[in-house]
Amino acid sequence: MSKKKLSSKMRILGIETSCDETGIAILEIKKGKFKVKANLVASQAKVHAKYGGVFPNLAKREHQKNLPKLFSLVEKFILKKPPNLIGVTVGPGLDPCLWQGIEFAKEIAKKFKISVVCANHLIGHLLVNFLKFPIKKAKNFYPALGLLVSGGHTQLVLMEKFLKFKVLGETRDDAAGECFDKCARILGLSYPGGPQLEKLAKKFQKIFSKIPKNLKTLKLPRPMIHQKNYDFSFAGLKTAVLYDFMKRPKKERESKIYKILMAKEIQEAVFDVLIEKIKRAQKEFKIKKLFFGGGVLANKILRERIKKEFKKCEILIPQKELCLDNGLLPAVFAFFYQDKKTKNLEKIKSLPNISF
């Protein structure tokens, strides 16, 4: 963020196409506060469900269809009050998908003769927490630890000064959300796997008294939980789930009780590691402010556990729908990084592998 004073009155159009959600949002800034005027999302989850994951070129075609449809729903408002700025996600993400949002943003920018900010999707996931605050308060939220947990990323970052990020640790292989999807697939659950595991895990109390002896000892590893670094690794957890699943008799592994127990244990294994790494970083850096982002944070069990484990900290977790990909992520990024705006549209490129 620039040292220059941020504009106190503006409207930003946010465009998000990093993966399998198409998002268009309008964010208004007035009198030092944020006001969400529109936040529309077209999910492709059902389209990709039969494949068990996201197919980039299929996702690209869906974005091509969805962007004009969503834009038409806010076009009257935009024509009445044109945006001053566009925030478009340029990375990280799936390259064919990112380009759909970028090209669409260029068209709108030309039409209204306005500048574009190239938004970092990861930072947007954390900044969306600040929509609930007056801008002045948001700018004082530091030093802080940020945890981003999604299908593509698991990263722990330190924000020593506002918008000055340092990655402390990240996954060495599968992200937490990716691990959930793969484990769910092993259990025969539909895509996306995270919500399916959560639904099953919530049924644990109902079947507690019916658990057979041979399943009471079901326990999965907590990868890297005792290592002194802040990195993560969840590929081994998926392998442990597969081995346990394959060694069980067909009738047992396909039983509802087994799937509920396994769903609960998968979640707890991942959450135990996340919580432990945050605690260690919090102690080392003496941090009392924590903020979170990413699709996995839509999980109610994780949200409740964070609040329970960090009662003495100031905690920011986006409301459930804002944990998922949406147009407000690039919009709020564009506000805080408005000094990065450009009218040189030909230089805007996708950055599919960008980090913090």
Contact 356, 123 (CB under 8 A): yes
Q: How many other CB atoms sit within 10 Å of the CB of residue 23?
A: 27
Contact 191, 52 (CB under 8 A): yes
pLDDT tens digit sequence for 333-349: 999 999 999 999 999 99
All domains of the chain, ordered by start, with CATH?
Answer: 10-141+321-347 (3.30.420.40), 144-286 (3.30.420.40)
Taking the CA atoms of residue 295, residue 268, residue 129 and residue 65 in that order, the dihedral angle to the nearest 10 degrees is 10
Enumerate residue ranges in the chain where pLDDT < 70: 1-4
Query: Rounded to two decimals, what is the model's pTM?
Result: 0.95
| pLDDT at position 2 | 47
Nearest alpha-carbon partner for 182 in 227, 136, 241 = 241
32, containing H or E segment? none
Sign of the four-CA dihedral 290, 296, 299, 305: negative
Q: Which residues of 142-156 are buried (b: 16+ CB within 10 A; e: fewer)?
A: bebbbbbbbbbbbbb
Cβ-based burial of 257 (10 A; exposed 0-12, middle 13-18, buried ≥19): middle
Residue with tokens 């697939």: 185
